[in-house]
Amino acid sequence: MKSGSPLAVRHVQPGGCGGAERVRYNRLVDCVRNSVRLPGQPSKPLHRNRLCTRSVGHGLLLLLAVASGCGGAAEDESASRESSAGLFDAATPAGDPAVPIVLTDVTAEAGIRFTHNTGAFGEKYLPETLGAGAIWLDATGDGRQDLLFVNSTDWPGRGDGTPPALYRNDGDWSFTDVTRGSGLDTPIYGIGGAAADYDNDGHVDLYLAALGSNRLYKGGGDGTFADVTAAAGVGDPGFSTSALWLDYDGDGHLDLFVANYVEWTAETDLFCTLDGETKSYCTPESYAGQSATLYRNRGDGTFEDVTSVAGVAAPSAKALGVVMFDSDADGWMDLFVANDTQPNQLFRNRGDGTFEDIAVTAAVAFSETGVARAGMGADAADYDDSGLPGLVIGNFSNEMLALYHNEGNGLFIDDAPRSPLGRATLLTLTFGCFFFDVDLDGRLDILAANGHVADDVGRVQTRVSHAQRPQLFRNLGGGRFEEVTGAGEGFDAPLVGR
């Protein structure tokens, strides 16, 4: 069964939630219990999970929001916004004169007709909650950014399958679907991906992270791609969610970091329930984690798995988001990994081909209360003009966004709990989040794509809805943000955003 709505591409025209005041608040713990049962044993509970504070997610990118199951949940969404507004009652400090921000939905005008397929058919398999990513890349070599929509697919025996979708940028906000004949028209259960010229031939290549087996496509520079996964040795047959290219060892060749999630198959799927009878989506706590994989580029078209020797092996990790940045300004790219219900990781690059995880000492592994949150999307940038990159991380409902200021001494401070930005995101479940300058004022703003994983969450948490509006936060300078969510189309109606 295909579910979802067309992905919305939003054109940005100049047109912002912030505050330095300190406000105390009580952590919301409106939790429910989620029973888990072994396959074939529907009457024997295994254990229970806290659904309200743990779940799954995946960060997306750019001005795109993939939504599935849009519409509905309006009453729950209204309640959620009202509760959030009740917390957001402190006066916002004066910033620069606000420039109106207007975002216009140009999806249909641009010729984009993509709909994400989760493959859902009633069994409520865990991967169906994750959504899928989208990637800007110049696939045709004409200098224009084309658009690749990663897609999931039907479960075996349930349909013909749905491949990714490649849209060629024809200029003037016009796109053409050129998937057929591109070499990308093979269905996989895709979730994330990354594009780069890994072999230095001048053409952009593509890596897709998926459930079961990932894909490496060598770009021809003319909109066509060749599957070289087996020859390159980067199949990674796990449950992959994200990927990024980086030259971690400084040899001039782009290496590949692949984020993996949990040990799950349809055969090992558990029966989870909220009411003791009806099946619900399980939380990641029900499954063992999977280590990320680091592939070193040999420079001859092949890669070697250096996960263990490089120091990034972590079997208990449940990664959804990953971002590279030079956290300590030593000239080497570090890696931040957002984990779901497990401590986050900050892999400091030692500059000798190895990493060390400094997340605990850097204070980014846990929340301020010492709890591992449900980390999803993540991005890094110098949002406060401190000269050092900070972090934004999407988390589960009742956990709020994390906004880490880089102190420059190996320590990060989460500014979100003391700001209106944190209070405004307390009830939302944020999958994708990223920095970008929406109003071209030289300051980096934040976009958060929100949506719950449980379509029936409103039955047990009246202040939280399945469909949730995305949020836009305008940077006022000095580390202050103000919410300008009502900035136009796409921010008016709740979506199941990823």
pLDDT tens column, 404-413: 999 999 999 9
Q: Which of 129, 36, 71 is nearest to 453 (CA)?
A: 129
Q: Summarize pLDDT for 441-461 with one digit per residue, the tens.
A: 999 999 998 888 877 777 778
| Average pLDDT of the residues in 43-70 | 35
Report, as an integer, the average pLDDT of 309-330.
Answer: 97
Residue 172, Cβ density class (10 Å: 0-12 exposed, 13-18 middle, ≥19 buried):
exposed
From the number of C-beta atoms within 10 Å of its C-beta (0-12, 13-18, 19+), residue 30 rates as middle
- The CATH class, in words, for 8-483 is mainly beta
Question: Contact, 146 vs 138, CB < 8 A?
Answer: yes
Residue pointed to by tokens 């009411």? 275
81 — phi, psi (to 5°)? -70, -35
Q: Mean pLDDT of all residues in the chain?
A: 82
Sign of CA dihedral 362, 365, 371, 375: positive
Selection from 193, 212, 196, 216 nearest residue 204 by Cα: 196
Report percent pLDDT > 70 for the chain.
79
- The residue type at 130: L
Question: 390 - beta bridge partners?
Answer: 381
Whether the predicted pLDDT of 431 surpasses 80: yes
pLDDT at 460: 76
Mean pLDDT of 337-349: 98
SS3 assignment, position 324: strand
Whether the CB-CB separation of 224 and 185 falls below 8 Å is answered with no
Q: Are 477 and 95 in contact (CB under 8 A)?
A: yes
pLDDT in tens, 142-166: 999 999 999 999 999 999 999 999 9
CA neighbor of 16 nearest in space, from 432, 420, 395, 446:
446
Task: Map out the domains of the chain as residue ranges.
Answer: 8-483
Pairwise CA distance, residues 449 & 425, whole Å: 11
Q: What is the pLDDT of residue 485?
A: 75
387 is written with which tokens? Answer: 């000269």
What's the mean pLDDT in 469-492?
A: 84
pLDDT at 469: 85
* Each residue's pLDDT tens digit, 269-302: 999 988 888 899 999 999 999 999 999 999 999 9
Q: Which amino acid is present at 120? A: A
Residue 211 is predicted with a pLDDT of 97
- The residues near 314 (Cβ < 8 Å, ≥ 6 apart) are 289, 291, 292, 345, 357
Residue with tokens 């809805």: 465
Burial class (CB in 10 A: 0-12, 13-18, 19+), 187: middle
Residue with tokens 């906004």: 403
H-run or E-run covering 231: helix 229-232
Are the C-beta atoms of 256 and 238 separated by less than 8 Å? no
**Residue written as tokens 């770009």?**
219
Per the structure block, which two tokens stand in for 90? 């402190």
